[in-house]
Structure 1
Amino acid sequence: MNHCQKLLLGILFTLGLIVAAQAQDRQADYRLGAGDAIKISVFQNPDLTVETRVADSGIITYPLIGAVQLGGNTIPEAERAIADKLREGGFVQKPQVNILLIQVRGNQVSVLGLVSRPGRYPIETGNTRLSDMLATAGGAVPSGSDVVILSGIREGKPFRREIDVPALFGPERNNEDVLVAGGDVIYVHRAPVFYIYGEVQRPGPYRVERDMTVLQALVQGGGLTVRGTERSMRIHRRGADGRVAEIAPEKSDLVRADDVIQVQESLF
């Protein structure tokens, strides 16, 4: 083996150690949940090597010590729990317990609605946030709303919050990028739209952009035809009572979701 080959093998080995360390760090933060598959081993005690799943109750059954509550624990906490019972029972004097997470099933978050890859995704670390799960699902599609709905259970009570995603990354970042928990559901609804018709180049439905004005909506529709006039524009808007009102807007007025903008023909 020449010098270059030895150098390449050394680099690959170092990279492998780095990746393994990163994976171990991620697992150290993860909290075990129902359905997770784990492999438990004790140094110099091969007969205590067991592959098992965490039950719905969070309990596993382990040789010599019986039932152990591991659900909700991090992996280092679970290792200490088993080691303590082995030592207290007099089975192993100085147990060195290692737990390997084989398959994640317990702590999963459902990402639904208008995202690139809807589905259920595992929480890989204990500090996984809303933005992390949206990124895992590929983010919202162009027709998806900027506001997402996060629902789940917190402290035994139903939890629901609407979160403005672009605001998470604005100049004044807020604290809305919350931690997610197992069983949470993230839902991305369809973005609000307005409708424009009449004497415009491209009539149809369009997304309501943030702080969009009537003039910007008119531009979105391709502008006026040769027969159109801004003076005769009307907005048909449904109020809280369900009734539709006809409004003569200013060009600087803001467009609302489900507004119907009509551009009439000029009389002159």
Structure 2
Amino acid sequence: MRVLRTSWLLGNGRMVLLACAIVFSTGCSDRIQLPPKDVFERFQHVAPHRPAEKMGTATVTLPQPGPYRIRPGDVLEITLASFLSTVSIEQAIPQTQTTSIACRVQPPGHIVLPVVGQVHVAGLTIPEVESAISNAYYPTYTKTYPAVLVRLAEARKERVSILGVVARPGVYELRADQMSLVQLLAEAGGIVQPGASCIRILRPGQEGQTTITVPMRGPTVPFSDVPLREADQVIAERLVVPLFTVIGLVNRPGNFEYPPDANYTLIQAIAFAGGLDLRLDPRYAVIYRLDHDGSIIHAVFQLSDPKRPQATTTSINVPIRPGDIIAIEHTPRTRSREFLDRIFNVHIGAYLPLIR
């Protein structure tokens, strides 16, 4: 037993001497050179190139807010004096008696009434239709302007469809004054998570199909409203959430989602990866970023002060961007710590039964 203990002491003594020699040769410093100020400023202003989405050739003419205006295909219920609805003058009808007539607005934009015939109503509001009908009877058929009451019995509806990342995809019938992208999205329950990267409107035409691309202001809000036409097909393209990557001396390296409405900093990115490996006490991070021309630039950031290891620096608040790779890389100091950690863990663990 005494021989084994002596052998253990001699073996570990040699390992300690070897470890000290390695640490002495590699040094205890990180040997990291921080980038000059101009490199750091260039790094901060780099942004990956993204092709701009265009609105296409759509003419953005949305219905103006205000009273509803009659359109061809609408059905109107018109209430007027009963004597105005008869052609024969032989029949005595009390002037106080009223009659209701249902009229569909014809494609040219007119309705057909008893006695007076066609009356143009397309593009008029309900009060304007009442005035137009009253003027059609006066003064040829009445001595005074007759009282006319008009009600929109049925508004013309047009069919459009919507697919993609919405709550209720399908075919919808909208009133003519509701034929807009925002109104259709509301009918379909809105855009659901993870959101839409853009919205495409496929519009059939005599010369073929036209595609209108609408960019997004946010994951669930289109950049602008667009008028729709009958038979339009709307597709809300699924948003592909960009990623950032954290590798190196962290507890859980990997890829992490970067939502469009997020603004992460360096310390937050490291937190996603489970924090730094405290055994090795890394003090520097390198961020690799893709430039608009396809080249990769990088910058080194100091996480803690070497003179005060427990104190962080302002670099931990540097913003990161989608696509960034955050590398907590080895330095001579961290490699020395890792080597010593492995040596003492292995050898002390192996000879621990002998000490007992």
* TM-score normalized by the length of structure 1: 0.55
2:149 to 86, 98, 113: 98
Structure number with bigger Rg: 2
What is the CA-CA distance between 1:198 and the residue it aligns to?
4.9
What 5-or-longer segments of structure 1 have no aligned partner?
Answer: 1-27, 153-158, 169-175
Q: 1:96 corresponds to which letter in structure 2?
A: A
Residue in 2 that maps onto 1:53:
104
Q: CA deviation at 1:85?
A: 0.8
Is the Cα–Cα contact under 8 Å of residues 193 and 208 in structure 1 kept in the other structure? yes
Deviations 1:90-144 (A, max 9, x none): 1685422222222222588887764434564645989x99877654543332333
Cα distance in 1 between the residues matched to 2:265 and 2:198: 22
Aligned equivalent of 1:244: 294
Cα distance in structure 2, aligned partners of 1:31 and 1:142: 37
1:196 is matched with which residue: 219, 237, 244? 244
Q: Which residue of structure 2 aligns with residue 261 of structure 1?
A: 324
Structure 2 residue 151 is the aligned partner of structure 1 residue 85: no
Conservation of the 8 A alpha-carbon contact between 2:289 and 2:297 = yes
Superposed counterparts of 1:101-250, under 5 Å: 101-105=152-156, 114-117=165-168, 120=172, 122=174, 135-145=186-196, 164=217, 183=229, 190-191=238-239, 193-199=241-247, 203-209=255-261, 212-215=263-266, 218=269, 221=272, 224=275, 226=277, 231-236=285-290, 239=292, 243-248=293-298
* 2:192 alignment partner, SS class: coil
SS in 2 for 1:83: helix
Which stretch shifts more, 44-53 or 76-85? 44-53
In structure 1, C-alpha distance between the alignment counterparts of 2:271 and 2:149, rounded to whole Å? 60
Residue aligning to 2:70: 32
- Work out the CA distance in 2 between the residues paired with 1:45 and 1:216: 84
**Partner Cα separation in structure 1 for residue 157 and residue 183 of structure 2:** 18
Contact residue 35 and residue 53 of structure 1 kept, 8 A: yes
Total equivalences in the alignment? 216
Q: Tell me the residue number matched to 1:67.
A: 118
State the TM-score, normalizing by the size of structure 2: 0.44
Q: Distance in 2 between matches of 1:216 and 1:107?
A: 53
Residue identity (%): 22
- Check 1:137–1:87 CA distance in 2 against 1; reply closer, same or farther (3 A cut): farther
Q: Deviations over 1:176-211 (max 9, x none)?
A: 998x8674988865557321245356635442116x
Higher RCO (C-alpha under 8 Å, 6+ residues apart): 2
Gaps of 5+ in 2: 1-65, 86-98, 204-211, 302-316, 335-356
Q: Counterpart amino acid of 2:75? A: A
Counterpart of 2:131 in 1: which secondary structure? helix
- What code does the residue aligned with 2:100 have? T
